[in-house]
A and B are shown apart, each in its own frame.
Chain A
Amino acid sequence: MKEINELIIPDELKYTQQHEWAENGDTVKVGVTDYAQDQLGDIVFVELPEVGDSFEKGDECATLESVKAVSEMYSPVSGEVVEINEDLEDEPGYINEDPYSKGWIFKIKLSDKTELESLMNKDDYLNMLKGA
C-alpha cells in the first residue's frame, strides 16, 4: 500500500468522497483515484455501464473486481453515458497502471453542470485522505 504522500492526485481534476475523479467540462471522463486502485489491488475485471445509461450523482455505475474484493464505483455527477473505455475489457489493469489516463472508465454528458463545483479539488481531497 502506498503512503499518502506517494499518491498521485492531479491538480486539474475534481474528486469525490468515494474516491472517484471527474474532468472539468460539459462531457467529461470519470474514473477512480490512485488511492482507490491501490486499496483494491490488481484489478482483474471491470463491469462497465452501457452507452446510453443515465445516472444520478451517487448512483452505482460500475464495479471493479480484484482477486479478493469488489468495489462499487459511484457516479461523481448526474448525466448520460456517451462513451465507455472498452480497453478495460482486455486490460483491466490499466486502472492500476494509470488511473487518470489509460484507466479512464467512462465519459458522461452532464445534466447539471453545477454539480462539478460541489466536488472536491486536489487539496480538499488530500486533506480528506489525511484525516481518514
Chain B
Amino acid sequence: MLNDKLTGLVLDEPLLWEKGSPGRSGISVPESLVPEAETDKDLTWEGPDFPELCEVDVVRHFTRLSTWNFGIDTGMYPLGSCTMKYNPKLNEKTASMEGFASSHPLIPDSLSQGALHMMYELQNYLSEITGMDAFTLQPAAGAHGELCGMLIFNAYHQKKGVKKNKIIIPDTAHGTNPASCSLCGLKPVGVTSGKDGVLHPEDVLKVMDDDTAGIMITNPNTLGLFEKNIKEIADIVHEKGGLVYCDGANMNAVMGVVDMKKIGVDVIHLNLHKTFSTPHGGGGPGAGPVGVVKELEPFLPVPRIIKSDDMFVLESDFNDSIGKLHAFHGNFGVLVKAYTYILSMGNKLYDVSKIAVLNANYIKEMLKDTLHLPYDQPCMHECVFSDKTLHDYKVTTFDLAKRLLDYGFHPPTVYFPLVVSGAIMVEPTESESRREIDKFIEAVKQIAGEAKTDPDLLHDAPLNTKVKRLDETLAAKKPQLAG
C-alpha cells in the first residue's frame, strides 16, 4: 500500500533570485522602429530588482516546482465542501480560444456577441439547474457572491423602507458567511443545529424577528446533510419579512434533485470552481454567480446581459441595482470553462449528483467501524467523521491527515465544521472510481491500525513528502513574506 510510488525524480530548486546572471532575459523584445521618447528623469528609475533568467532557467524552475505539488490529476483529493472533481481539459482548450482569451472587455457589444451570447446562455443554464429566475455572473468567488447576496438583502429591505441589522447564521456555517455579513453591517445571530445535525424550525423561530434581514443557510450543510426542515424555516423567515440566502457550495449533491426556489430560497450563490469543474489553481481564480427570485432581479449588479431583438446587450440602466462588484464582468475565463462543462454534461448533471452521493454514502458505510461517525444517517455528497476513537492512542485528526499524505492521498478537510471536534470531512466527488475509493478506505484503515501499534508513524508524518511538518509558529511569530 505504502509503496505505491517511486522516488528520485523530485528535485530541489532555489528561489528565483538565487539563480540567474546579470543581463539574462527570458523574453523576446519586439523591434521598436519608433523614435525614443524623452522622459522626466525625476519621475523615472532603473526599474525593480527582478531576477535575470533565461528561458531555460524559468522553465526548469517552474517545472521542478510543479513536481512538489499534489493536484487532482495526481490522485484523489477528498476535501469536504471543496468538490475536487476532475477538471476536464476540453474546458482549458475552449477558454484559450482567441476570441475568448484575447478580447478587451470594453469593446462595443456588436463586436463581442460571442462572449455575451455565452454568458447569457450560462445564466439560463444555471437558472434551470437551481430553479432560480435570474443570475449575475459578476462575483469572482463564492465569498464575493455572498457579499453580492447580502448587498441584495440590504437593497431589498431599504427599498421597502425597513432597517435590518441582524442575520441568522447556523453553527455549521463556513467562515465566509459571517465575514460577508460583517461587510454589510449585518450582525450574525447564531442558531444551533439539532442533535440530528440539521436546523430546527423552532430554534429559528426563537431568533427571527423584525430586525432580522433573513437567514444564511448552507444546503446541503457542511455536515453533508440535507437541511430537511428548510421549507418550514424559509416560511418562518419570510413571515417576518426576511429573505433566505443559500450558500450553494454543496450544489454537487443536488443537481436535478432539488429546485432551490421551490424550497424557499431567495438568493443562492454557486461555486463554479467546485460544482462546475473549473480548476482550483492553487487558490483561485473561481467564480461565484448569484441567482435570485424574480422579485429581487432589479437589484442584481450591472451591467446585465439581456437579449434585445436578436442581439445580446450589456445594459446598465437598472436604478435599483446594488452597483458593481468587479471592474468588468467577473472571471470571464472561468465562466467559459463552466459553460463548456455544462455543454459536456447537459441533463447528465443529475447523474453527477447521484454518483457523488453514492460515493459518499459508500465511504460512510465502509469507514464507520474504523472512525467515529457522529451522524449515522444517510448523507449527501460528503460525510463527517471525528478522531474520537483515536484519542486513546494520543493520535489526532491532524496526525491522521499527515499520515494520509504518505499513502499518496490528499487529506480530507479537517477541523471543520466546528460543531464536530476533530472533524474529518470526506467528499470523494463523482470523479473517483470504486477502485480509487477502496484504496482510500484501505489507507484509512491501515493508518487507524498504525495508530494503535505504532502511533509515532502518525506523529512524525508525513515522512515521504518534499518537506516534513513545517514550523508554522515561527512563520507567524517572525513573518518573512518576501525575499
Contacts and interface: CB of A to CB of B under 8 A. Distances in A.
A–B contact, 8 Å CB criterion (strictly below): yes
B221 to A, nearest CB: 23
A52 to B, nearest CB: 28
B295 interface: no
A44 interface: yes
Interface residues of B, number: 6
B317 interface: no
A9 B473 CA distance: 26
A42 interface: yes
B390 to A, nearest CB: 15
Contact of A92 (B415, B472, B475, B477): B477
Size category of the binding interface on chain A: under 10
Interface in B307-342: none
A78 B191 CA distance: 31
A132 interface: no
A42 B475 CA distance: 12
Contacts of A44: 473, 476-477
A96 B453 CA distance: 32
Nearest to B398: A68
Contacts of B415: 68
Interface string A93-108: 1000000000000000
B47 to A, nearest CB: 35
A65 B476 CA distance: 9
A4 interface: no
B483 to A, nearest CB: 21
Contacts of A67: 472-473, 475-476
Contacts of A42: 473, 477
Contacts of B475: 67
Contacts of A125: none
Interface string B454-483: 000000000000000000110111000000
Contacts of A65: 476
A66 B472 CA distance: 10
A70 to B, nearest CB: 11
A93 B415 CA distance: 24
Contacts of A66: 473, 476
Interface string A67-109: 1100000000000000000000000110000000000000000
Nearest to A42: B473
8 contacts: A42-B473, A44-B473, A44-B477, A45-B477, A66-B476, A67-B472, A67-B473, A93-B477
Q: Which 6 A-B pairs have the closest CB atoms?
A: A44-B476, A42-B473, A44-B477, A67-B472, A67-B476, A67-B473
